[in-house]
Copies of this chain bind each other. A is one copy, B any other.
């Protein structure tokens, strides 16, 4: 399992499109990639998962989604919170990047195979998912510890191998600022996926007179915790996280075990290739597909079954990370029973087509 292999599989399945490969002075390869349509949907799902969990799902205090101006958002949040901590501000922050230059320098180290060897091209922009939580002095340190645990749990929850994610030790810089990172372990080394720091003094975008809250009747300067996720690292992380090669028959079965909440497509179809009933099966697949999509279950529809076997189609769906395939055949037309094939186990269970929708809804509701 190497990064190169994962990327070439993902290219085949529409996650990425390769722009070019370059070599730096240590002859490490650097892949320049763009998101493909499957990758674009994967990105939307990641963005949505973060928004639902961190912004809308924040349990104990309000998280405000920032408009283009952080300062205005802070003022609004302060007013809505009666000038009292805690509250937080979430941002989809766009920054100009000069990664390709710095990249080549970093590659002088001896790591052979790393996210740094992959450049996801967003036209020289990178996106940071940032959350800044404002707290009173006494709440800050306990919350920082709680936040670290919560964040680790989030990464683990939507991962194919949760054990991969770990917190680093707390680093203290010369100003006494504490930082900690969440890293995910891969055969080629650990990758930073999120970094968190606690600040006790000035904010680079807020004037000191803005950054004042109340505690009881006193005026205080809040402490704040900043948490950063780089979108392109997040995408690469969950792609590599999902890649597996379980043994299958004589060989292996390369597949993307993407968490069902993140999977670009949740369901696909395969139809038996008996030509006589093909039109009826097509109609049935279309009927089920409409039902699923009506409930916002992202479904890949491939009608007019191509001239390949079901095995070959399953292989493709497994590599696209589609968790379930509805298998329809002659018998389904007679007795209404379809098979639901699981990507992870390759096992098929019998489900009546009238209960297929509710059964799938139940599966996709939970983590």
Chain A interfacial positions (CB closer than 8 Å to B):
14, 17, 34-41, 44, 48, 51-52, 55-62, 64-69, 72-73, 76-77, 80, 82, 84, 89, 121-123, 286, 289-290, 293-294, 296-298, 300-302, 304, 306
Contacts and interface: CB of A to CB of B under 8 A. Distances in A.
A93 to B, nearest CB: 13
A269 to B, nearest CB: 12
Contact of A73 (B37, B64, B306): B37
Nearest to A304: B82
A38 B293 CA distance: 29
Given A73-B36, A122-B68, A304-B84, A52 B294 contact: no
20 contacts: A14-B76, A17-B67, A17-B72, A34-B69, A36-B67, A36-B72, A36-B76, A37-B67, A37-B76, A37-B89, A38-B76, A40-B65, A41-B55, A56-B296, A57-B294, A59-B289, A59-B290, A60-B290, A68-B122, A84-B304
Contact of A68 (B51, B56, B73, B123): B123
Contacts of A39: 67
A298 B56 contact: yes
Contacts of A289: 59
B61 A121 contact: no
Nearest to A75: B17
Contacts of A34: 67-69, 72
Given A52-B296, A56-B296, A68-B123, A306 B35 contact: no
Given A48-B48, A67-B34, A62 B17 contact: no
Contacts of A298: 56
Given A36-B76, A56-B296, A286-B60, A68 B121 contact: yes
